[in-house]
């Protein structure tokens, strides 16, 4: 009788654990605030920026300016039994150069709200 209960308990735990997964991933390196503050507006050049932040993921031409675009995506995914939810958040960085190749502006800022692990896919009853 006792071993039967153990077996049932084992099966129940195995059943619940089979459908449970929490996964985290990211794309691109998260640039530290320390790295960004070393870039000086009106002084740093394209080479200086590349030396600190590395080669950009994309280079954009906009109204006579050149823009270095650095990607960063953070992903958190949770699955429990039949429910699954994946949250993705982007925190990109842009460095804008003037026509002479000197840094004109650094665009870096966090999106609102923390990225959470969630498995409940519906808005209700929490919203």
Partner 1 sequence: MMLRNLFIFLILALAVTSLKGCSQGPITVRRVVFNQTISHNDVTFIAPGKTDLLAVVERLGTPNEILTSKDGIVTRYYFADGKYFKANYGWGLRFLIPFFTPDLDLGGGGIGRDVFQVTYDDHWLVRDKSFAFHSHSSEFVVWPFRD
Q: Give the shortest CB-103-to-partner 1 separation in angstroms.
A: 14
Bridge-partner residues for 24, per DSSP?
Answer: 76
Give the whole-angstrom CA distance, residue 119 versus residue 83: 6
Among 82, 100, 125, 127, binds partner 1 (CB under 8 A): 82
96 Cβ contact list (under 8 Å, min separation 6): 65, 66, 67, 103, 104, 105, 106, 107
Nearer to partner 1, 29 or 105 (CB): 105
**Binding of residue 74 to partner 1 (CB under 8 A):** no
**Binding of residue 67 to partner 1 (CB under 8 A):** yes
Q: How many amino acids of this chain bind partner 1 (CB under 8 A)?
A: 39
């Amino acid at each position: 009788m006792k071993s039967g209960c153990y077996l049932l308990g084992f099966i129940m735990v195995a059943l619940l654990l089979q459908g449970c997964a929490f996964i985290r991933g990211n794309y691109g390196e998260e640039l530290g605030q320390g790295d960004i503050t070393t870039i000086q507006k009106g002084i740093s050049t394209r080479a200086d920026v590349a030396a600190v932040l590395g080669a950009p993921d994309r280079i954009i031409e906009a109204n006579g300016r050149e823009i270095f675009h650095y990607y960063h995506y953070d992903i958190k995914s949770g699955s429990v039994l039949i429910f699954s939810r994946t949250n993705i958040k982007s925190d990109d960085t842009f460095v804008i150069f003037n026509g002479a190749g000197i840094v004109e502006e650094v665009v870096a800022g966090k999106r609102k709200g923390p990225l959470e692990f969630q498995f409940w896919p519906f808005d209700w009853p929490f919203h």
